[in-house]
Amino acid sequence: MRSVKSKDTKPELLIRGLLHRVGYRFRLHRNDLPGKPDIVFPSRRKVIFVHGCFWHGHPCKRGDRLPKSNASYWSAKITRNKLRDRKAVSELQQSGWSVLTIWECQVRDHDRLLNRISKFLMTE
């Protein structure tokens, strides 16, 4: 568990690299915002969360499985993570921020990912 990182994960670094390459500038892990978003665009009031499928309970092939040992612990942990994520998104939206969640499994197709992020950043 100690080796599992909460920031600077491979999917997050890949997304940050793509954004930087096309000219977007951003802030990272703002402590003063609910949920401590991974990528923050303060002037646009937009944030991006990059979630690991397993840790945040995504219904994809990778996220929709539990370890065989200590399954009750993991089920409860993932449920708590999902609740915490929903609460953070709700608080951000109530404060006037727009939120985009990108899942680990969505990072493979770079063109599609960049298109999705660009659309998110261009909308009011």
Q: What is the pLDDT along the chain (124 residues), one digit of tens a residue?
A: 555 667 789 999 999 999 999 999 999 999 999 999 999 999 999 999 999 998 899 998 877 888 888 889 999 999 999 999 999 999 999 999 999 999 999 999 999 999 999 999 998 7
Closest C-alpha among 104, 108, 15 to residue 52: 104
Write down the pLDDT at residue 31.
93
Write down the pLDDT at residue 3.
57
Residue 48: phi and psi, rounded to 5, are: -125, 130
pTM exceeds 0.85 for this model = yes
DSSP string for residues in 25-55: --EE--TTSTT--SEEETTTTEEEEEE-HHH
101 forms bridges with which residues in the sheet? Answer: 49
Helix axes 110-122, 10-21, angle to 10 degrees: 70
Closest C-alpha among 118, 92, 120 to residue 22: 118
